[in-house]
């Protein structure tokens, strides 16, 4: 529907991608709205763009903040700050089209359809949660791997200077609870201090 036909594949150029996202999102929402009115249905559209731009350092802190990482005792991460920079924030949006939900009267609205929607959203939620956990676990593993390598390297260096190796970890589970909002990434870990 434009000057030329476009292939459906990832748009590499970042700004074009952003522009297309805005335009098509608008279209999608409008279509959902129309459908909900025309066919008296309840439609939810949840779109999260995966635009990984403009990193802010304490994003990961917030994530850890909000979600207790149950493998925290395995999280003996080196250079958490660098890792954090790999987590890029995103643009997000939520649109819920619920035209029908407003005009209901007791006898002809199906409570059951709302219950279905609830259940379906629950299903969507569990998919999202499962994927989130999986990705976080992957991150944990890669952190552990890097840590292990660095510890080894460190031990070699330490033996060369005839000193004992200390690994000092601050925070861990509770570290970003207090200073997680708006500040720079705290120095969470010091090696060989």
Partner DNA sequence: CAGGCTATTTATAATGT
Partner DNA sequence: TACATTATAAATAGCCT
**Residue 16 or residue 181: which is nearer to DNA going by CB?**
16
**Residue 101 or residue 169: which is nearer to its own copies going by CB?**
101
Binding-site string for its own copies from residue 127 to residue 166, where x marks contact by CB under 8 A and - marks none: xxx-xx--xx-xx--x------------------------
Q: Could you tell me the maximum CA-CA distance found in the chain, to the nearest angstrom?
A: 83
Cβ of residue 110: shortest distance to DNA, in angstroms?
20
Task: Give the one residue of 1, 127, 161, 168 binding DNA; rule: CB under 7 A.
Answer: 1
Kindly indicate which of the ranges 22-30, 71-79, 151-159, 174-182 contains the residues binding its own copies, using the contact rule CB under 8 A. 22-30
Cβ of residue 124: shortest distance to DNA, in angstroms?
22
DSSP 174: G
C-alpha atoms less than 13 angstroms from C-alpha of 50 in its C-beta half-sphere: 3
- Residue in 35, 31, 89 with CA at minimum distance from that of residue 60: 89
Q: Does 168 participate in binding DNA (rule CB under 7 A)?
A: no
Kindly indicate which of the ranges 1-9, 45-53, 79-87, 122-130 contains the residues binding DNA, using the contact rule CB under 7 A. 1-9
Measure CA of the first residue to CA of the last residue in the chain; give whole Å: 62
Residues in contact with DNA, counted by CB under 7 A, come to a total of 19
3-class DSSP string for 85-141 = HHCCCCCEEEEEECHHHHCCCCCCCCHHHHHHHHHHHHHHHHHHHHHHHHHHHHHHH
Binding-site string for DNA from residue 19 to residue 38, where x marks contact by CB under 7 A and - marks none: xx-xxx-xxx-xx-------
Specify burial of residue 185 (Cβ count, 10 A radius: 0-12, 13-18, 19+). Answer: buried
Q: Which residues bind DNA (CB under 7 A)?
A: 1-6, 15-16, 18-20, 22-24, 26-28, 30-31
């Amino acid at each position: 529907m434009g000057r030329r036909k476009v292939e459906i594949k990832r748009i590499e150029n970042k700004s074009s991608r952003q522009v297309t996202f805005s335009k098509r999102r608008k279209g999608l929402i409008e279509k959902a709205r129309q459908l909900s009115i025309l066919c008296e249905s309840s439609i939810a559209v949840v779109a999260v763009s995966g635009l990984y731009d403009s990193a802010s350092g304490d994003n990961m802190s917030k994530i850890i903040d909000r979600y207790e990482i149950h493998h925290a005792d395995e999280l003996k991460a080196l250079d958490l700050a660098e890792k954090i920079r790999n987590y890029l924030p995103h643009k997000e949006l939520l649109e819920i089209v619920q035209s029908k939900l407003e005009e209901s009267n007791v006898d002809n609205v199906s409570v059951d359809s709302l219950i279905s929607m609830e259940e379906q959203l629950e299903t969507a939620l569990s998919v999202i949660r499962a994927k989130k956990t999986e990705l976080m676990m992957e991150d944990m593993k890669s952190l552990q791997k890097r840590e292990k390598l660095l510890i080894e390297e460190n031990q070699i260096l330490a033996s060369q200077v005839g000193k004992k190796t200390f690994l000092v970890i601050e925070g861990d589970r509770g570290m970003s609870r207090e200073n997680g909002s708006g500040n720079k990434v705290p120095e969470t870990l010091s090696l060989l201090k």
